[in-house]
Amino acid sequence: MMLGGRQLKGFCTTHFFERVGDEIKAPDKIVVKFPNMRAHPDYLEIVKVVMGVRELFYGTDIDGSLARFLVCDLDKGCVVSDYTEGLSLTEIMRGHDMRNREVCEIVDFCKDLVVSALWVVTEMNSKGVVHRDFKPDNLVCKNLLGDLVLIDLDFMALSHSKRSWNCDGTPKYQSLDVIDGQNFSAGRDMYALAITGLDMLESFFDVELLPQTVGETFLADELADMNMTKFLSRINSIIQPKAGDYWPQIAGLMSWCVEVISVDGGKPFVGNLENNIKIIDWMPNLTQV
Ligand SMILES: Nc1ncnc2c1ncn2[C@@H]1O[C@H](COP(=O)(O)OP(=O)(O)O)[C@@H](O)[C@H]1O
Ligand SMILES: [Mg+2]
């Protein structure tokens, strides 16, 4: 009935299955995640809490932008969810397809993706929900038009209830307040999205924008020690020649990323969706650059 599919590594093992018969009512493809129960003995209990949080979004506008959990099977020790056709942002960043495209297409893709993800994050955060492991790996792009699905919801939690483990997520995408123990900080997803935005520019324009962290150093710690105005003008000067005529179109996105990762009392910048989009859409007068 089911065929074993791709297997990917993480702290869980993820398998993809394809339906070959039609005797059951099920999606054509599903994802089955087997957590490493030795490392996380209470994983499935936590996922049950996450399924409850996930229910908050059923029937809402962003329902389709969040991976859907179908089953959490405590006996078999696995979690089953819908498969989303597409590529993870990490796969897109590693591939050559985007890099070989026209600059205007790269610029459009980066902006559309950040704005779509920003909308998902803002909607989640407005209900007090934090994803807590936002990063390119956990974004599946359905196409190159910014249609995306946020996956790997295992750490997702209600910021006020704190009923989830105190997992730290992925160091590069952790904001300073998270490093300081504010695990449920509402700004952490937005911070991780801003780093993701810079990741995309680095990869598609083949440049280095962010400091390369070594060993135990956290990126947020390094960024906190930097002068952000200087940082912005440095990264602007790297991207501007690469973006050529399309520089004004991407300038707002760069400013937004830097604004979000700038530390304000230890917290990343969080604004409402409209104001965030205004910054992203800002276009400098070329003579100002
Ligand atoms: N619902 C899904 N649809 C499509 N791909 C998925 C889905 N869930 C997981 N994947 C793929 O499997 C990888 C690992 O799954 P993920 O849930 O992120 O596990 P981990 O906890 O190991 O990071 C993802 O980066 C993505 O490429
Ligand atoms: Mg993942």
Q: Note whether 152 and 248 are same-domain residues.
A: yes
Q: Whose CA is nearest to atom 20 of ligand 1?
A: 10
Give percent of the chain above pLDDT 90: 53
Q: How far is the CA of 288 from the centre of ligand 1 (A)?
A: 43
Mutation probe of ligand 1 site: the residue of 9, 50, 82, 152 with most atoms within 8 A of C-beta: 152
CA separation, residue 267 to residues 67, 108, 184, 264 (Å): 28, 29, 12, 5
User: Cα 265 from chain centroid?
Assistant: 24
Q: How many domains does the chain have?
A: 2
Q: Which of 51, 123, 118 has its CA nearest to residue 276? A: 118
Give the whole-angstrom CA distance, residue 47 versus residue 78: 10
Among 56, 82, 108, the domain boundary falls at 82
The lowest-confidence range among 122-136, 154-168, 209-223 is 154-168
Mean pLDDT confidence for 273-284: 94
Greater model confidence, 110 or 216: 110
The lowest-confidence range among 33-42, 201-210, 246-255 is 33-42
Return the SS3 of 14. strand
Among 66, 82, 98, the domain boundary falls at 82
Give the whole-angstrom CA distance, residue 34 versus residue 265: 39
**Which pLDDT score is estimated for 76?**
75
The ligand 1 site (C-beta within 6 Å) comprises 8, 10-12, 14, 31, 33, 67, 81-84, 88, 137-138, 140, 151-152
What is the per-residue pLDDT across 56-103, written as a single tens digit (0 to 9) for each?
999 999 999 999 877 777 777 788 888 899 999 999 999 989 989 999
**Which pLDDT score is estimated for 287?**
61
**Which pLDDT score is estimated for 181?**
82
Q: Note whether 110 and 219 are same-domain residues.
A: yes
Q: Note whether 185 and 225 are same-domain residues.
A: yes
CA dihedral 199, 205, 210, 216 (to 10 degrees): 60
CB atoms closer than 10 angstroms to residue 71: 12
**Which pLDDT score is estimated for 168?**
67
Give the whole-angstrom CA distance, residue 254 versus residue 131: 23
Q: Note whether 120 and 216 are same-domain residues.
A: yes
Domain residue limits at 75: 2-82
